[in-house]
Structure 1
Amino acid sequence: MIRFFARHPTAANLLMFLLLLVGVLTLGTIKRETFPEFSPPYIMATIVYPGASPMEVEESLCVRMEDAVDGLSNIEETKCEAIEGSARLTLKLDESADIGRMLVDVQTQINAINDFPDQIESPVVQELDWNEPVIDIAITADTSWPELKAYAEKLKRILKLDYGVSLVQVSGFSDHQYRVELDTQIMRQLGLSVSDIAEQIGRQNVKLPSGNVETPDKNFLIRFDERRITPTELESIVVALAPMAL
């Protein structure tokens, strides 16, 4: 065949033109998708460990998770990434694996680990979705955790509203709780019980929608926010007034 086309270059050019013509004519019938659907053979398990260093995450989370899923079938590759405040276990499955069943098996194995640190959040096991690009951004600053979380939430809103990012998740923060210690002697003097003080704290710690203001260009939502989220603000709550002597 090579000898034939070498002797007849016109035939070779005609054949090439014919192939190009067929390709152009069939181009419109080819199925095209921006994000084609397929079942990715990957499962990801994520655990948040607030305040932990990468070494602590590796020793406390990654090693235990890798050991827990070691006996499962249909796993080709196991990789655990330890970063500050969280661990991410990625499992590459073979093509014959049942994704739904593997999700249940991995979740069961990780939930069975009974020596995780008490400070961790509940493990999240999910199928890795390749339909959306993923980028991790680590934020560190010499400030308090509430201020850092507020900045992360602000950055989340900017990415979604100004740059059109469809999905932004903030992780690595836990819901902090404050413990209010009461002076029993003063409580007796004022005739207050623990439930009385708890009720007053609840009444003065509210966040309620208050309507909206419409303009020709925008619609502004109004929200009444009187939450006490710092120790100083909690200390300023008035729970009772002593009777005034005249």
Structure 2
Amino acid sequence: MARNSIAANLLMFILLGGGIWSAVVMQKEVFPQFQLDVVEVEVAYPGAAPSEVEQGILRPIEEAVRGVEGIRELISEAREGRGEVLIELVAGQNRMKALQDIDQAISRIRTFPDQIEQPEVSLQTRQQEVMLVALYGPIDVWELRKLAEQLRDQLQSHEKITQVELRRVPQYVTHIEIPRQRLREYGLTLSEVANIIRTNSQDVAAGSVQTSAGEILLRVKGRKQWADEFAKIEIVAGQDGPLVTLGDIASIRDGFEEIGFHSQFSQTPAVELNVYRVGSQSPIEIAAAVEETMQDFETILPPGVKWRIDNNNAEEFKRRLGL
């Protein structure tokens, strides 16, 4: 009997020790992590009605990808100025190969309207959001966005934080206004000037150029150029006459696209930043790192600008650990 009692106690301690060890080393998540087998195709068609988006974008894409192996279902949506196609893959399909095949199929389409932007083809992923940080206050939206970008960089410089994304922020645009008289003076059209800008800009190739009523509107991604750099673009070569730059004939200003930006908190402009966990990162450690960073960042905030944390999944994780 004594031997059995000792063995039972030993087994109990082994199981207890194993449980403690598992609790320490086990990857801690608020929700299970998994991958989505969905390819997303987005195409901007500025100024187009939903019916034009359906005819000019969605139907050609649906026809082009129909022959790609491993597609389970297509879901298309046409909106004002934009079309989206979600392509669900068969379970177990090679996701990267399917992404490449779909991208190549779309690149072969020759019937797209000239006004569309470059189609964006990407693999959807399930991001693990830890929390949302909001900056808000009675300051200019331009300054608020720059402040949010500064905060994003400071958060990502912390060793515990890997991924932070701006959310609900207005997009940068550059407005270029050229009087008709100036165009006539140099024998130019607005479209010709837009093409010169497109050819000479390192940014515009990844964005879009629109022309209307004497104005050129530039939407770009990964912006490296601002109004003063665009002003230096040569419009008329100076071989037999004076060199004419864009700044000589146009009024150029940087700004934001106002459409679609309505984020406010306490009736003041607001910008949000999503903080995500990557791989085996702990949501509790990330939350602590955010709090630490925000305490430092708070000291440089302009008067009236405040911050708050919402959707704190680290708190939910702590609650579940306590169950």
Query: TM-score of the superposition, structure 2-length normalised?
Result: 0.41
Confirm or deny: 8 A CA contact 2:33 2:128 kept in the other structure. no
What's the C-alpha RMSD, in Å, of the aligned pairs?
A: 4.5
Per-residue Cα deviation, 1:176-218 (whole angstroms, up to 9, x for no partner):
7767523269xxxxxxx943352372698788xxxxxxxx953
1:244 matched residue in structure 2: none
1:122 aligned onto 2:168 = no
Q: 1:103 Cα shift?
A: 1.2
Corresponding residue to 2:247 among 197, 201, 204: 201
Segment drifting more, 198-207 vs 77-86: 198-207
Confirm or deny: 8 A CA contact 2:176 2:250 kept in the other structure. no
How far apart, CA to CA, are the structure 2 residues paired with 1:54 and 1:28? 53
Percent identity over paired residues: 25
1:71 aligned onto 2:67 = yes
1:42 matched residue in structure 2: 38
1:84 matched residue in structure 2: 80
- Partner of 1:166, secondary structure, is strand
How far apart, CA to CA, are the structure 2 residues paired with 1:73 and 1:115? 23
Per-residue Cα deviation, 1:12-42 (whole angstroms, up to 9, x for no partner):
xxxxxxxxx98x8766665322465433211
1:227 matched residue in structure 2: none
- Partner of 1:68, secondary structure, is helix
Structure 1 residues 204 and 85: alpha-carbon distance in aligned structure 2, compared to 1, 3 A threshold: closer
2:99 matched residue in structure 1: 103
1:58 aligned onto 2:54 = yes
How far apart, CA to CA, are the structure 2 residues paired with 1:173 and 1:44? 24
Q: 1:74 Cα shift?
A: 0.8
Q: Could you tell me which runs of 5 or more consecutive residues in structure 2 were left unpaired when the two chains were aligned.
A: 1-14, 130-139, 156-163, 188-234, 254-297, 303-323
How far apart, CA to CA, are the structure 2 residues paired with 1:51 and 1:173? 18
> AA paired with 1:103?
L
Confirm or deny: 8 A CA contact 1:76 1:94 kept in the other structure. yes
Aligned residues: 169
How far apart, CA to CA, are the structure 1 residues paired with 2:109 and 2:118? 12
> AA paired with 1:166?
E
2:184 matched residue in structure 1: 182
Confirm or deny: 8 A CA contact 2:176 2:252 kept in the other structure. no
Corresponding residue to 1:218 among 287, 300, 323: 300
- Partner of 1:80, secondary structure, is strand
Per-residue Cα deviation, 1:37-89 (whole angstroms, up to 9, x for no partner):
43321110111100111111111111111111111111111111111111111
Confirm or deny: 8 A CA contact 2:177 2:250 kept in the other structure. no
How far apart, CA to CA, are the structure 2 residues paired with 1:53 and 1:67? 21
- Partner of 1:182, secondary structure, is helix
How far apart, CA to CA, are the structure 2 residues paired with 1:126 and 1:198? 41
Bigger radius of gyration, 1 or 2?
1
How far apart, CA to CA, are the structure 1 residues paired with 2:184 and 2:243? 9
Confirm or deny: 8 A CA contact 1:159 1:168 kept in the other structure. no
1:100-179 equivalence runs, <5 A: 100-131=96-127, 166-168=165-167
Structure 1 residues 119 and 102: alpha-carbon distance in aligned structure 2, compared to 1, 3 A threshold: same
Confirm or deny: 8 A CA contact 2:41 2:121 kept in the other structure. yes
> AA paired with 1:112?
R
More strand by share: 2
Segments of 4+ in structure 1 off by > 4 A?
24-30, 153-162, 169-180, 202-207
- Partner of 1:113, secondary structure, is coil
